[in-house]
């Protein structure tokens, strides 16, 4: 076999595959009971930026009976070298083959990584279909946001963890140990055989299905109507829940947050300290899946946040602390927490950043505090160009909010702003699209009104305005899950309209590939039949679809045609409230009736306030999951529960 060093000599960025980074955990495989591979279906730089992977790596490796190791998608040069050398996919820590692990956990972060999952399995020598795996094969476990509609990949996974995994993963390991027995004699394969001799692979799945938040796809039968719509999704054995509810961590302060994360040898996408200040969002944007599936809001106390930050600075050597959440400006004590962090760590050259800011919660003084160490541009997401459409999507920000924020930022010396919008939103008209252009022009005028800014050498600094658009993709568990995606020709026409009407001298214009958004839309609301299309696309060489230079739209269309599926049936078809949806047996805790009411309010152009400030909006997530919305830094919101 070709040596590992020889293999690395054939590729760019060999540090993606070496392991051995600072704070990496290595364990003797013969000294533990369970080997758990954590696989992220994208390159190292993307996967290592994912906080969820870091959290699970920490949770599993603090167990003395378990070794958790990392696996990422090899880039195309490494894949070619591995296939040529006949070397199977390996884990970074031990370089042991992934197929020798007991469980392989895969992050379902994005629909366009699904073919990468099949490619990972193929490289590992693990049968792609769960039904074809035998006693020597690991169990494949899915988790992440796309687990809330895993049906397009259901045939490939043995089980799916719905919701937050820090506690669920311990239940899963315990169930595995109980199924296999605790014998440590005879080697790993013999221990697997012990499980087989007792209950077989199905025995473990039966145990797993009894764990709250765990979904075993093979234990559910799916039937279809003659017109292609779903008829039913029902358990095919007793004792399996008809509806699987997500797992949720009740108190973030009690969670064992990792303060010694792995520090990569090469630059990654988010190469900084990440301190999660809270989970969830109650803003209620109607297109946003994260705002539903991560409810309710649960904050870390400011004392905990500052303590974690100090430990992370000491143990990693990073010079930036990122306060992460879905909307960090909404953290109830954000201003004081920021000031405290900057006062403590700023003198040592450690900056603090907020990765997500809202127009209506932006504070110039806060931004100036953040950028005392290093100054960057500002990014906001108005999402729509007119107030009418912002009311439809429940963005709850106004043009006045944006212009006031821009004026304050320009007056304080900023000259670079990025604006993010979505096109193809439900009820959108050309007037809404052109409102985007009008908004950019008004921001430019505000910049001129504030005055000609001067750089360090006295030269005038021009406004640097960037307008970026993505195409609306209806997502499961949102009020817009019943809405169709705008057909491809419509998305392209909208992009062309903006390209022609947004002057280059005014703003740099970026847009997302409409073809890619279309395929994403197919799988976002897809059912199990799409597994056939995935297999066919994989056979045709599709992977790294999220990378524009590797996305092969023609092969995707050919794959759908080859298996007799019409992709427009999934992406471009409106759905009625009484239609059975592929994810109806999986619960985010938010009531279906609430989503229907929100959809109706959207069509009427009515907004819904944030329950943290206006009282309970009856989404029912708090009583359903028995977890209170918690604002650790301010007044508790228990009075708003309903």
pLDDT digits over 442-451, tens only?
Answer: 999 999 998 7
Average pLDDT over residues 488-508: 96
* Phi, psi values for residue 587, rounded to 5°: -110, 130
In three-state secondary structure terms, 533 is helix
CA distance 246 to 296: 12
Poorest-confidence range of 16-30, 122-136, 446-460, 618-632?
A: 446-460
Is 4-216 a domain of CATH 3.40.50.300?
no
Looking at per-residue pLDDT, the higher value among 457 and 423 belongs to 423
What's the rounded mean pLDDT across residues 236-245? 96
Local structure of residue 634 (DSSP, 8 states): S
**pLDDT at 186 > cutoff 50:** no
pLDDT tens column, 367-415: 777 766 556 678 889 999 999 999 999 999 999 999 998 998 888 888 8
Q: What percent of the chain has pLDDT over 70?
A: 92
What is the average pLDDT across 579-596? 98
- Between 31-45, 183-197, 403-417, the lowest mean confidence (pLDDT) is in 183-197
Q: Give dist(CA 50, CA 271) in Å, integer.
A: 11
Per-residue confidence (pLDDT) for residue 411, from 0 to 100: 87
Q: How confident is the model at residue 455 (pLDDT cuts 50, 70, 90)?
A: low
The residue count of the chain comes to 642
Angstrom distance (rounded) from CA 452 to CA 454: 6
Q: Do domains 4-216 and 377-525 have the same CATH topology?
A: no
Q: Which residue's entry shows tokens 């595995």? A: 176
Mean pLDDT of 359-369: 71
Map out the domains of the chain as residue ranges. 4-216, 377-525
pLDDT of residue 642 exceeding 50, the answer is no
Radius of gyration of the chain (CA): 25
Are the C-beta atoms of residues 156 and 129 closer than 8 Å to each other? yes
CA distance 578 to 262: 48
pLDDT of 322 higher than 80: yes
How would you label 431-461 residue by residue, b for 16+ Cβ within 10 Å and e otherwise? ebbbbbbebbeebbebbeebeebeeeeeeee
Q: Per-residue pLDDT averaged across 597-610, rounded?
A: 96
Question: Residue 452 corresponds to which tokens in the numbers above?
Answer: 């000609």
First to last CA, the chain: 63
**Considering the domain 377-525, what is its CATH architecture?**
2-Layer Sandwich (3.30)
Instruction: Give the pLDDT confidence score for residue 190 in this predicted structure.
Output: 52
Alpha carbon distance 560, 558 (integer Å): 6
Distance in angstroms (rounded) separating the CA atoms of residues 187 and 173: 18
So what's the pLDDT on residue 639?
Answer: 35
Higher pLDDT: 462 or 522? It is 522
Q: Mean pLDDT lowest for which of 116-120, 455-459, 504-508? A: 455-459
Mean pLDDT, residues 497-522: 96
pLDDT above 70 for 439: yes
Do 276 and 252 touch, CB atoms closer than 8 A?
A: yes
Q: 0.85 cut: is pTM over it? A: yes
On the question of pLDDT at 185 being above 50, the answer is: no
pLDDT at 641 over 90: no
Residue 2 confidence (pLDDT): 77
Report residue 615 as tokens: 């009282």
Give me the mean pLDDT over the 90-114 stretch. 97
505: three-class secondary structure by DSSP: coil
- Mean model confidence pLDDT for the chain: 92
Per-residue pLDDT, 637: 39
CB 378 within 8 A of CB 465: no
264 burial level (CB within 10 Å; 0-12, 13-18, 19+) = middle
Q: How confident is the model at residue 184 (pLDDT cuts 50, 70, 90)?
A: very low
Query: Over the stretch 610-637, which tens digit does the pLDDT of each residue have?
Result: 998 888 999 999 999 999 887 876 544 3
Q: What is the pLDDT of residue 456?
A: 56
pLDDT digits (tens, 9 = 90+) for 530-581: 999 999 999 999 999 999 999 999 999 999 999 999 999 999 999 999 999 9
User: What DSSP designation does 335 have?
Assistant: H
d(CA 186, CA 180): 13
Residues 398, 391: Cα–Cα separation, whole Å = 9
pLDDT score, position 288: 96
The DSSP-derived string for 398-456 is -HHHHHHHHHHHHHTT--EEEEEEEES-TT--HHHHHHHHHHHHHHHHHHHHH---B-T
Of 571, 467, 563, the C-alpha closest to 526 is 571
Average the pLDDT over 277-296 and give the result: 95
- Which of 99-113, 410-424, 522-536 has the weakest average pLDDT? 410-424
Percent share of the chain, pLDDT over 90 = 81
pLDDT band at 232 (very low <50, low <70, confident <90, very high): very high
Q: What is the pLDDT of residue 378?
A: 82
Give the single-character DSSP code of 460: B
Higher local confidence (pLDDT), 101 or 180: 101
pLDDT at 524 over 70: yes
List the 66-72 sheet strands across, edge first: 66-72, 34-40, 103-107, 139-143, 159-161, 214-215
């Amino acid at each position: 076999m070709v040596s590992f060093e020889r293999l690395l000599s054939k590729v760019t960025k060999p540090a993606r595959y070496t392991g051995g980074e600072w704070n990496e955990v290595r364990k003797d495989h013969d000294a533990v009971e369970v080997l758990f591979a954590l696989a992220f279906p994208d390159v190292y730089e993307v996967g290592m930026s994912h906080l969820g992977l870091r959290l699970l790596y920490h949770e599993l490796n603090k167990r003395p009976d378990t070794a958790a190791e990392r696996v990422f998608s090899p880039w195309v040069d490494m894949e070619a070298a591995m296939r040529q050398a006949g070397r199977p996919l390996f884990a970074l820590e031990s370089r042991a083959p992934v197929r020798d692990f007991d469980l392989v956990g895969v992050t379902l972060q994005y629909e366009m990584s699904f073919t990468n999952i099949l490619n990972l399995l193929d490289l590992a020598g693990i049968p792609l279909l769960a039904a074809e795996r035998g006693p020597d094969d690991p169990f494949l476990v899915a988790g992440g946001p796309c687990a809330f509609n895993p049906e397009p990949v259901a045939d490939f996974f043995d089980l799916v963890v719905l919701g937050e995994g820090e506690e669920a993963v311990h239940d899963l390991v315990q169930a595995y140990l109980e199924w296999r027995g605790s014998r440590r004699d005879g080697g790993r394969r013999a221990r697997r055989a012990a499980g087989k001799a007792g209950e077989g692979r199905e025995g473990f799945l039966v145990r797993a299905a009894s764990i709250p938040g765990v979904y075993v796809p093979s234990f559910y039968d799916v039937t279809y109507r003659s017109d292609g719509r779903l008829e039913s999704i029902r358990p095919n054995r007793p004792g399996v829940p008809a509806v699987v509810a997500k797992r949720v961590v009740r108190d973030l302060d009690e969670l064992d947050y990792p303060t010694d994360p792995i520090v990569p040898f090469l630059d990654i996408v988010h190469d900084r300290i990440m301190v999660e200040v809270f989970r969830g969002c109650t803003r209620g944007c109607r297109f946003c899946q994260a705002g539903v599936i991560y409810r309710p809001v649960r904050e870390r106390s400011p004392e905990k946040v500052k303590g974690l930050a100090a430990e992370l600075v000491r143990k990693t050597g990073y010079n930036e602390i990122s306060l992460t959440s879905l909307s960090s400006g909404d953290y109830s004590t954000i201003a004081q927490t920021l000031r405290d962090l900057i006062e403590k760590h700023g003198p040592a050259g450690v900056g603090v950043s907020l990765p997500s800011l809202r127009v209506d919660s932006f504070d110039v003084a806060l931004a100036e505090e953040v950028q005392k160490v290093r100054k960057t541009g500002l990014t906001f997401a108005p999402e729509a160009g007119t107030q009418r459409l912002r009311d439809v999507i429940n963005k709850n920000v106004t043009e006045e909010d944006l212009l006031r924020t821009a004026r304050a930022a320009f007056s304080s010396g900023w000259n670079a702003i990025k604006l993010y919008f979505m096109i193809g939103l439900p009820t959108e008209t050309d007037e809404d699209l052109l409102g985007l252009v009008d908004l950019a022009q008004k921001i430019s005028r505000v910049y001129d009104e504030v005055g000609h800014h001067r750089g360090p050498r006295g030269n005038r600094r021009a406004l640097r305005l960037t307008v970026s658009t993505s195409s609306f993709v209806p997502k499961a568990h949102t009020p817009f899950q019943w809405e169709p995606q705008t057909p491809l020709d419509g998305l392209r026409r909208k992009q062309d309209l903006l390209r022609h009407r947004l002057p280059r001298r005014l703003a740099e214009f970026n847009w997302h590939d409409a073809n890619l958004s279309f395929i994403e839309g197919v799988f976002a609301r897809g059912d199990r039949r799409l597994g056939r299309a995935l297999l066919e696309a994989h056979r045709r060489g599709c992977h790294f679809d999220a990378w524009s230079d590797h996305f092969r739209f023609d092969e995707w269309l050919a794959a759908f045609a080859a298996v007799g599926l019409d992709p427009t049936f999934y992406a471009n078809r409106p759905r009625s409230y009484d239609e059975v949806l592929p994810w109806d047996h999986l619960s985010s805790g938010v009531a279906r009736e609430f989503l229907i009411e929100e959809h109706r309010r959207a069509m009427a152009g009515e907004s819904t306030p944030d329950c943290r400030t206006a009282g309970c909006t009856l989404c029912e997530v708090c009583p359903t999951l028995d977890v209170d919305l918690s604002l650790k830094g301010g007044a508790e919101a228990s009075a708003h529960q309903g």
